[in-house]
């Protein structure tokens, strides 16, 4: 994965410096769009191209400023023309999609994720100018189970390979990127394995889950969760795009929250569902389109997952500004979630009981 002293190293004028033309995929979504906006605000970068199959919202387009939107499908070989035509030297692949609902079904999502990445990497391999590829991956590649170690570091592999869904896509895509890195050893490849994002603006399966008034959980299990603030996610992606950071990195905030604790912090009511009923309840919730819950996410809510971010801090040199708890609180405040069971009510009840106790004295 690391760049092994290639002949092209010498004639690379800018070395590990800022890129001149950056291509960002998946700009219609939160991370891609905002990353393009951040890169566009960097005067050292000549051009920023944003690619997606659907145009970003008007608001996002305005925020993207001088970044150019190219409506293209990365599954189509035409993407090679875009890359070579514009002389792209840095590719940030942020299009990996986790929710089948938002990408038109599981088959479409898989095709977009896997075939799209293959085409994109093929195009990168063809282009002489490309010298850096950044992949937005996920910590879901570690799976989730009862036999997992408490913390995963980058060198660990899952106990059971993900059998399907987003995690499997991500694992396959990482495999393609490794293959690409072998074929083009002169290109720096960075893989950023992100944990779940939260924040006032980002929309994910989990943010929708925590906004349910009654949050279904699996009875008798309380997984450990780790979050990353959306701004931290953008900052890491931006730094990976403009600096040299070869390798694989787990990206997550410090600290953990238990699922029950997160639900309480959001002022929601927890409803434990016995494990045998989890399947039907999950299907029902999927049917109502309230939350799009895939079996792998069910497993995640069963056992949770925490990753070790030592490498991110020491080698990448990034320290998340928000801890898991702060990021989650920011999400709760930013969404103005009206607590079903708020802190005021709890304190009021506490006062009432104490006053009653004083009366009795």
Partner 1 sequence: MPEARVIPLRADETGGRTRWRLGEGRDRGGSRPGARTRAGTEAREPGRETGREPGRTRRPATTTPRPRPGLDEDGSGGAAVPPVAAVPDPEPPAWEVGLEEVLRFLRRRLSGDYSVDEFGFDADLADKVLAPALRPLYERWFRVETIGLHHVPDTGGALVVANHSGTLPLDALMTIQALHDEHPAARRLRLLGADLMFKLPVVGELARKNGATLACNADAERLMSSGELVGVFPEGFKGIGKPFKDRYKLQRFGRGGFVSAALRTGVPIIPCSIVGAEETYPKIGDIAPLARLLGAPYFPITPTFPLLGPLGLVPLPSKWYIEFGEPISLDAYTPADAEDPMLVFNLTDQVRETIQHTLYRLLSQRRNVFLG
| Closest C-alpha among 85, 83, 69 to residue 133 | 83
| Closest C-alpha among 297, 2, 305 to residue 153 | 305
The interface region with partner 1, picked from 84-92, 161-169, 174-182, 348-356 by CB under 8 A, is: 348-356
Find the binder of partner 1 among 58, 183, 338, 358 (CB under 8 A): 358
Nearer to partner 1, 68 or 160 (CB): 160
For the bound state, the minimum distance from the C-beta of residue 347 to partner 1, rounded and expressed in Å, comes to: 5
Residues linked to residue 69 through DSSP beta bridges, in sequence order: 50
Nearer to partner 1, 214 or 346 (CB): 346
Find the binder of partner 1 among 55, 149, 213, 317 (CB under 8 A): 149
Size of the site for partner 1 (CB under 8 A): 44
Map the footprint of partner 1 across residues 307-326, applying CB under 8 A. 323, 325-326
For the bound state, the minimum distance from the C-beta of residue 275 to partner 1, rounded and expressed in Å, comes to: 6
CA-to-CA separations, 316 to 90, 130, 313, 331, in angstroms, rounded: 18, 21, 6, 26
Does residue number 147 form part of the binding site for partner 1 (CB under 8 A)? yes
Q: How many CB atoms lie within 10 A of CB 88?
A: 23
Find the binder of partner 1 among 44, 161, 277, 348 (CB under 8 A): 348
Cβ–Cβ < 8 Å for 237, 33: no
Does residue number 341 form part of the binding site for partner 1 (CB under 8 A)? yes
Does residue number 277 form part of the binding site for partner 1 (CB under 8 A)? no
Structure tokens at 90: 């840095």
Residue 273 to residue 220: CA distance in whole angstroms: 9
Does residue number 343 form part of the binding site for partner 1 (CB under 8 A)? yes
For the bound state, the minimum distance from the C-beta of residue 5 to partner 1, rounded and expressed in Å, comes to: 30
Cβ–Cβ < 8 Å for 51, 23: yes
Q: How many CB atoms lie within 10 A of CB 164?
A: 12
Give me the count of residues in the chain: 361
Cβ–Cβ < 8 Å for 154, 140: no
Site of interaction with partner 1 (CB under 8 A): 146-151, 153, 156, 218-222, 224, 255-258, 260-265, 275, 303, 306, 323, 325-326, 329, 341, 343-344, 346-348, 350-351, 353-354, 357-358, 361
């Amino acid at each position: 994965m690391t760049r092994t002293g290639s002949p092209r190293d010498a004639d690379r004028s800018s070395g590990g410096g800022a890129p001149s033309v950056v291509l960002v995929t998946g700009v219609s979504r939160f991370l891609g769009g905002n990353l393009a906006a951040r890169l566009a605000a960097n005067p050292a970068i000549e051009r920023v191209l944003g690619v997606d199959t659907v145009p970003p919202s008007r608001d996002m387009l305005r925020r993207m400023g001088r970044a150019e939107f190219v409506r293209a499908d990365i599954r189509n070989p035409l993407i090679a023309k875009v890359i070579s035509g514009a002389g792209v030297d840095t590719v940030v692949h942020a299009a990996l999609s986790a929710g089948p609902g938002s990408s038109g079904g599981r088959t479409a999502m898989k095709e977009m994720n896997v075939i799209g990445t293959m085409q994109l990497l093929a195009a990168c391999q063809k282009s002489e100018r490309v010298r850096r590829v950044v992949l937005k991956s996920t910590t879901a590649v570690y799976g989730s189970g009862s036999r997992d170690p408490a913390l995963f570091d980058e060198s660990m592999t899952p106990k059971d390979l993900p059998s399907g869904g987003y995690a499997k896509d991500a694992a396959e895509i990482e495999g393609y990127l490794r293959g690409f890195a072998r074929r083009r050893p002169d290109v720096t490849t960075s893989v950023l394995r992100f944990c779940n994002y939260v924040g006032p603006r980002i929309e994910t399966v989990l943010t929708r889950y925590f906004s349910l008034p009654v949050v279904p959980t699996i009875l008798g299990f309380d997984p450990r969760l780790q979050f990353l603030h959306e701004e931290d996610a953008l900052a890491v992606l931006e730094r990976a795009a403009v600096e040299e950071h070869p390798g694989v990195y787990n990206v997550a905030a410090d600290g953990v929250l238990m699922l029950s604790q997160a639900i309480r912090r959001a002022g929601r009511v927890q409803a434990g569902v016995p494990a045998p009923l989890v399947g039907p309840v999950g299907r029902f919730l999927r049917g109502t389109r309230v939350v799009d819950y895939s079996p792998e996410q069910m497993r995640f809510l069963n056992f949770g997952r925490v990753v070790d971010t030592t490498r991110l801090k020491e080698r990448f040199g990034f320290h998340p500004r928000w801890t898991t708890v702060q990021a989650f609180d920011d999400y709760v405040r930013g969404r103005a979630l009206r607590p079903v069971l708020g802190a005021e009510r709890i304190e009021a009840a506490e006062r009432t009981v104490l006053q009653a106790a004083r009366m009795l004295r």
